[in-house]
A = this chain, B = another copy of it.
Amino acid sequence: MKIFNFPMTYPTTAGTDIIDITGNVAEKVREAGINEGQALISVPGSTASITTIEYERGGVRDLLEALERLAPVGIAYRHDARWGGGNGYAHVRAALLGPSVTIPVAGGRLVLGTWQQLVLVDFDNHPRQRRIFLQISGL
């Protein structure tokens, strides 16, 4: 069994960013040379998540609107009352969506649908250099 760790960094803007990371992850899978195994993509941090979506402008906007219904930016958050920062909504969204996703690798490739992309969802309200952590393991 082999295990490879790939820390990666994405610049994000203010407000919820949804960034397609599929190409970078697929490239690291090839680089790792794993045939069968898995790619664990995780975000160390409490204001971002990883998920998958068909990455096209319409669906991405639809997801943003659903997140706004789930944990609106404009309501009162106790996190903000205690600590300021105004990103209470981001903490709630990240806890609901979760910090990591695992995708199987088979035949040397990520097992994803044709129209399915891996995305980093950064909820935070200021620009960041967002670190994610990709671990590829297998045979």
B46, B51, B111, B135: the one contacting A53 at CB < 8 Å is B46
Q: Is A100 touching B103 in the complex (CB atoms < 8 A)?
A: yes
- Majority secondary structure, A binding face: mixed
Closest chain B residue, CB of each to CB of A116: B46
One complex includes copies of this chain to the number of: 3
Q: Is A59 touching B102 in the complex (CB atoms < 8 A)?
A: no
Taking the nearest CB of chain B, how far is it from the CB of A126, in angstroms? Answer: 15
B42, B62, B106: the one contacting A92 at CB < 8 Å is B62
Q: Is B102 touching A42 in the complex (CB atoms < 8 A)?
A: yes
Taking CB atoms, residues of chain B closer than 8 Å to A58 are 77-83, 88
Across the A-B interface, the 3 shortest Cβ-Cβ residue pairs: A58-B78, A45-B113, A58-B79
